[in-house]
Amino acid sequence: MRKTVLVVSVLAVIFGLTACKKEAMNMQEGAQVTTEAPSAAPAMAADKVVLRVAKADEVGKEQLCPVMNEKFKVSKVTQVADYKGKSYYFCCAMCPGQFEKNPEKYAK
């Protein structure tokens, strides 16, 4: 029984990570993101998470996703969070939501 539970748990984690990776690939292949980068950053509290898409000068740079701890290249549809004066880049569409729930956990 323990082996069955362990195997099912491991498979669930593997499928979850695979789904996130596939989402990142889909985003980098040209999926459309409906939000646009603001032309000027709004005046907000420094500790508030502000989501946006990558700017033209950020595209092509290698970044580390703070949620999945995975390296990837930034594309024009990569989602970015500005938090406490630093930008955090995400490998897939799932990661910004996780970051928003608990930014202190992922901000390093």
Whole-structure pTM over 0.75, yes or no?
Answer: no
The rounded mean pLDDT for the chain is 80
pLDDT digits (tens, 9 = 90+) for 47-91: 899 999 999 999 999 999 999 999 999 999 999 999 999 999 999
Which pLDDT does position 47 carry in this prediction?
A: 81
Helix (H, G, I), strand (E, B) or coil at 101: helix
Instruction: For residue 51, give the nearest of 78, 28, 91 by alpha carbon.
Output: 78
The CA-based angle 85-26-78, given to 5 degrees, is 15
Answer whether 21's CB lies under 8 Å from 92's CB: yes
**80 and 51 in contact (C-beta within 8 Å)?**
yes
Domain with 26 in it: 2-106
Would you tell me how many other CB atoms lie within 10 Å of the CB of residue 50?
14
Q: How confident is the model at residue 31 (pLDDT cuts 50, 70, 90)?
A: very low
Tally of structural domains, the chain? 1
